[in-house]
Amino acid sequence: MQIISASSEIPGMTGEEAERFLESKLNLQLAANYEQCNPNIQPVWYYYDRDVKKLFTTTSKSAKKTKNLQNRPNVYFSIDDENPPYKGG
């Protein structure tokens, strides 16, 4: 995992802090493209597996986001905490 600090005023997270952050109960904002290449952004629950350092999420096979990902597998996501001290990944 690579830790990047986007601002010199806000310190970046250590690896351990990032692991704890990913294990929190926040939603992951998942963005996939529609047929017209317009983004479709939806919150999803996720599970972070610390041992394999992967994020997992589940949804219905018939969900629009599933079909979008099957047609265009590029994925963008954001996980953030709106409560101070602000954190995100």
Q: Per-residue pLDDT tens for 8-36? A: 566 677 888 888 888 888 889 888 777 67
Distance CA 39, CA 30 (A): 10
Give a yes or no: residue 32 inside a domain: yes
Give a yes or no: residue 78 inside a domain: yes
Which residues on adjacent β-strands are paired with residue 30?
42, 77
Q: Please give the structure tokens belonging to residue 13.
A: 């997270």
**Buried-exposed string 24-56: b where 16+ CB fall within 10 A, e elsewhere:** eebebebebbeeeeeeeeeeeebebeeeeeeee
Phi-psi sector, 8: left (phi>0), alpha (psi -120 to 50), beta: alpha
Give a yes or no: residue 1 inside a domain: no
Give a yes or no: residue 5 inside a domain: no
**Tens digit of each residue's pLDDT (9 = 90 or more) over 39-88:** 778 888 899 999 998 989 888 888 888 887 888 777 888 888 877 766 66
Domain enclosing residue 43, as ranges: 15-88
pLDDT value at residue 51? 93
| CATH code of the domain covering residue 50 | 2.30.110.10
Give a yes or no: residue 48 inside a domain: yes
Does residue 10 sit in helix, strand or coil?
A: coil
Q: pTM value?
A: 0.68
Distance CA 84, CA 67 (A): 36
